[in-house]
Chains A and B, each alone.
Chain A
Amino acid sequence: MPTTLHDVVVIGGGIVGTAILRELSQYKLDLCLVEKQPDVCEGTSKANSGIVHTGFDAPPGSIEAECLRRAQRLWPELVAALKIPFLSCGAVMVACSDEEKAIIHDVYIPNAAANGVDVRWIGKEELLERNPAVTSAAIGGLLIEGESIVDPFWATRSFAELAVLNGADVRLGNGVASIGTGSQEEGLAIVLEDGQVIRTRYAVNAAGLWSDEIGRMIGDDSFWITPRKGQFLLTEEPIAVSTIILPVPTKVTKGILLTPVVFGGFMLGPTAEDQDDKWDRSTTGEGMRQIAAGVDKLLPGVSACASIRQFAGVRAVCSAGDYVIRASTADSRVIHAAGIRSTGVSASPGIAEMVAERLEQAGLPLRRKAEARSELPELFDDEAQDAGEIVCLCRSITRGEVERVKRSSLPCSTIDGVKRRTGATLGECQGNYCIPQLLDVLGERGTASSHEPLRPLKGLRQSYFASVGKEEEERT
């Protein structure tokens, strides 16, 4: 069967894959993205601190530092064009001893200078003025004013939505089973789990934790990925801080941070636990104790705050010790965007720019598309009359806000997808009261919309929490 030959297929719908798709959608290219899960942002991208790092502590001369440096330049424009919630709150690395102060002066200030990031030492008075909740045992800290906070899902979804508006094809819920490396004319054959074959001249491997497995599909074992878990705890109690609070890292760990959340509240974590299972996203009593102990060192008593949710994310640790952004050693038509450790959200726009350059070096001509959009339309064109009644009580989310999901250029088929697009289910009840109403509102087959009714699917593939009894009985 003849199929179209795409210019580029991006494998992986996390923040890295979608950032690359957005970047490439500015050029005259036939693009496709494949994602195994039913929605974008279902892996490492969804469970992290949301910090947009400046790269002040990145190893100078690394690909990671270069991507972070580029991203620092690109983020402000992206945030404005795509209406991404963004908080320029800054960060303070708090020192509680002369020894820690010495580490800041000997290691971090020179490192930041090497990476071109502005930092300055602040005394105890300024530190406590900015962050009254910090321990009085602090003697000062390193202020990194450029550190910011973003909503990782919003960013990921916006990247994908813009690319779709520019003509890219996003295929959700279908993973890559194998990759055939045929001739130059036939292109690469990306075989999906359901048997579909997508032909493409180039492919980008942005499969996150699974990027080593994608590499092996074409006989490339030049790097491998091991999973590292980070547990987090979310609280919405008021805490008197205005910046991200970082401890001085030890040789073993970067430590437990406190990070403001764009939509309110604070995230405490992460732990850093190497494990074997890429799918183990469980929290543990020990992890919660580590977070409590870590946070109380810098912010006494904060561990006693009530938590409305705890979760764990798994990040990629790469054998290369740095990002792997280059053509595959096995087939130069496959460009890796792999080994993206915990700085993926921060670096994603820079990674995208670098991947575009690698594609060009591999022989793909990049010609600007004059009609390409770079902006998303304003989402909150609130017309009070079509807002309707409250659907999510904890967060005061209206029927109108939920119905808006149907108008997105990126289809939404899961409860978690609705959550990340509207804020519903994020409150105290964790969705136990509004999920039936979300199913009611989005279950009505919209005549003006091509969207399928919302299914009782939580987030991941096969994460059904209910089935439609009658239909199932009739079928079996």
Chain B
Amino acid sequence: MKQKTRIKYYNEVVLAGVFLALFIAFSIISPSFLTLKNTMTLLSQMVELGVLTLGMAATMISGGMDLSLGTLCSMCTVTLSIFIGTNAWGEGTAMLLTLIIALVCGAFNGFMIGYLNIQSMLVTLGTQSLFKGIGLVVSNGLPIKIPTEKFALWGRVRLWGFLPFQVIVYAAAIAVTILIFNYTITGRRIYLVGSNTEVARFAGINIKKSIFLTYVFSAFMAFVASLTYTSKVSCGRADLAEALILKTVCASVFGGVSTLGGIGNIAGAVLGVAVITIISNGLDMMNASVYFQQIVIGGLLLLVLAFRHGKKK
């Protein structure tokens, strides 16, 4: 039993070690890295990727993959900006309406995947294009501005002068997700559905409902990410978060979440996000090109995987 727990958290310990090593290495190499300002920047850079990764990790644990997360988040930034900027409605109303839109989109995904039993990648490939299309049509393909004095809380307010509010949002999202997936029956059911659908069926689990809820949850995370993103850039655009989607897969896999479902840990995915963000932030500080960062992240991903799978054999 003891040995099992050690293997269970082996991956997370390694990742935390990698993160610490990178943190120390960058602090020594670059004098501007280990400052309060940059540390806070580093934290706030994690937020959108991190929140979306929580949704992605959830769907991957359930045995699927939500490719529509990025465009759903972008679509939410567009609707938020239209409600607050163009229509000048209250922030509460705008957020509530956007939340409803996001949940409906998530429910659509969940219905198609859970109740109609269609492969998640097929469905979300379609809705990915659909959500982007809706965002583009609604916004006429233009970025929609919000007056800078409005909607500042989620992405631009710093508590006590240094702590970005969005970091607290991220922390809350992590806490809720870990709570759901590690300590509630619904969360453990999703794990079982992901690892073995047949066994889950024999155990009397309502598989359809579990999968449905997973996609509603990931849509909720897309909504949360859209709050901080819209506020941070003060505008909404239909392709804002699209490029993040492959990074969320990258971070989840990095953190030990298997694409085959049932395996992985939310904490691991969070650490995966941290490692990816610190690599790009640290290399930024050293004036390395963005393309070099891409090579490093891609190479590291393959190395980690080769190591992990090689060991299994």
- Is the A/B pair a real complex? no
